Chain A
């Protein structure tokens, strides 16, 4: 489930912790601190791009339009093309036959839903670690009440770092909730137009594949050429 974990960034939702935890180790080096907070996960800008493109696609998609595109045999050049082709296949074939090729992707969607459920169901724990020691730990309730535990003798720099860490963690949680709602709403919109019972369960993996493709595209663009 690497794709799911990549999206979640530093959020882990293991049962042993009792709550989702965002833990970041911060180095004393300035550049490393910046990198550690931003992390290797997809940037907020790239997730925002997924949200925009998926919303636009779902608003504009219709089965008739994309059936015509497929009949022309156009190759899938963009994630939108690929998604349109996948939806065209779902519309045209028996649902139970189509579910098999999407099995792996489907498992990822289930995992994403499960992890998001955990993220929304519990207190979130945000922890900032520096030189192997916990600097501060903040528990955030679902509606945003804070309980922060700080080690005595903290410095202004540690306050600043923990504040940035808290902001990054909560911003990602909010963005993931938005992404989740866009995926769900888009699946529902498209399924209504497909008019096929059970279609929403087949559409979701297709949309998840789209999310992955757009993120991959964004990563390519964000990676500087050497």
Chain B
């Protein structure tokens, strides 16, 4: 398949050189197939004819560009998939430390390590329920830290709205590409 793809790539370019705006006689647009190959995660680069022994690596110096584009689109589609799972609630946690330089964030466990204390937690569910957790009476939350927490809750809500807007716009663009006649 890949070898054939290479052949059709070159012949199509030759054809394009003669008449760039004339559609192929078969009525099939090979560019659509290539775009689909970029978007569909199950389709490998080899399906585009770029990763075979018969196809020299430097045939099209855009190969790495294709990789980057594929990687980005995969990331995008994965993220869109995860989005549905993660949007059911919004969580804001506020921590305090006497020495921020001693605190490290572990991205694997998603926890702070070091001299750090959780001071407030707000969880807002999709149905509007809100849970706020603050220290007990004998361990009072500093007024300024509470103000900081509230400010971050507001930013998180604004960010979530912005995020949904960006994702919707991006999804619409992707859908729009393939829904046109």
Residues of A within 8 A of B (CB): 18-19, 62-64, 67, 91-96, 99-100, 103, 106, 109-110, 113-114, 116-117, 120-123, 125, 133-134, 136-152, 154-156, 159-160, 162-163, 166-167, 170-171, 174, 177-178, 180-182, 184-185, 188-189, 191-192, 194-202, 204-205
25 A-B pairs with CB atoms under 8 Å apart are A67-B20, A94-B13, A96-B59, A103-B61, A117-B72, A120-B72, A121-B75, A123-B110, A133-B100, A141-B86, A146-B152, A146-B153, A151-B100, A152-B145, A154-B145, A170-B162, A171-B162, A181-B169, A188-B177, A192-B31, A192-B32, A192-B35, A194-B20, A198-B34, A204-B69
Also in contact, A143 and B8, with CB within 8 A (given A120-B75, A148-B95, A149-B97): no
Query: Of all chain A residues, which has the CB nearest B35?
Result: A188
Q: Contact: A136 with B20, CB < 8 Å?
A: no
Question: Which residues of chain A are near B14, meaning CB under 8 Å?
Answer: 94
Is B1 an interface residue, CB under 8 A from the partner? no
- Measured CB to CB, the closest approach of chain A to B82, in angstroms, equals 7
Is B62 an interface residue, CB under 8 A from the partner? yes
Residues of B within 8 A of A (CB): 8-9, 12-14, 16-17, 20-24, 29-32, 34-35, 38, 59-69, 71-73, 75-76, 79, 82-83, 86-87, 90-98, 100-101, 103, 105, 107, 110, 112, 116, 142, 144-145, 147-149, 151-153, 155-156, 158-160, 162-163, 165-166, 169-170, 173-174, 176-177
Question: Which residues of chain A are near B152, meaning CB under 8 Å?
Answer: 138, 146, 148, 163, 166
Query: Of all chain A residues, which has the CB nearest B149?
Result: A148
Question: Which residues of chain A are near B64, meaning CB under 8 Å?
Answer: 110
Q: Contact: B144 with A143, CB < 8 Å?
A: no
Q: Which among B13, B14, B38 has the highest number of chain A CB atoms within 10 Å?
A: B13
Q: With the chains together, A71 CA to B113 CA distance in Å? A: 66
Q: Contact: A99 with B62, CB < 8 Å?
A: yes
Question: Which residues of chain A are near B87, meaning CB under 8 Å?
Answer: 143
Q: With the chains together, A10 CA to B10 CA distance in Å? A: 43
Q: Is the interface of A mostly helix, strand, loop or mixed?
A: helix
Q: Contact: B62 with A148, CB < 8 Å?
A: no
Identify B147's interface contact among A156, A171, A195, A202, CB under 8 A. A156
Identify B76's interface contact among A64, A99, A120, CB under 8 A. A120
Q: With the chains together, A196 CA to B34 CA distance in Å? A: 10
Q: Contact: B160 with A143, CB < 8 Å?
A: yes
Identify B60's interface contact among A63, A96, A178, CB under 8 A. A96
- Measured CB to CB, the closest approach of chain B to A26, in angstroms, equals 15
Q: Contact: B148 with A95, CB < 8 Å?
A: no
Identify A144's interface contact among B98, B110, B160, CB under 8 A. B160
Q: Contact: B62 with A145, CB < 8 Å?
A: no
Identify B73's interface contact among A140, A151, A160, A184, CB under 8 A. A184
Question: Which residues of chain A are near B63, meaning CB under 8 Å?
Answer: 201
Other A-B pairs beyond A167-B158, A205-B65, 7, CB < 8 Å: A62-B21, A96-B60, A103-B61, A166-B155, A195-B23, A195-B31, A197-B30
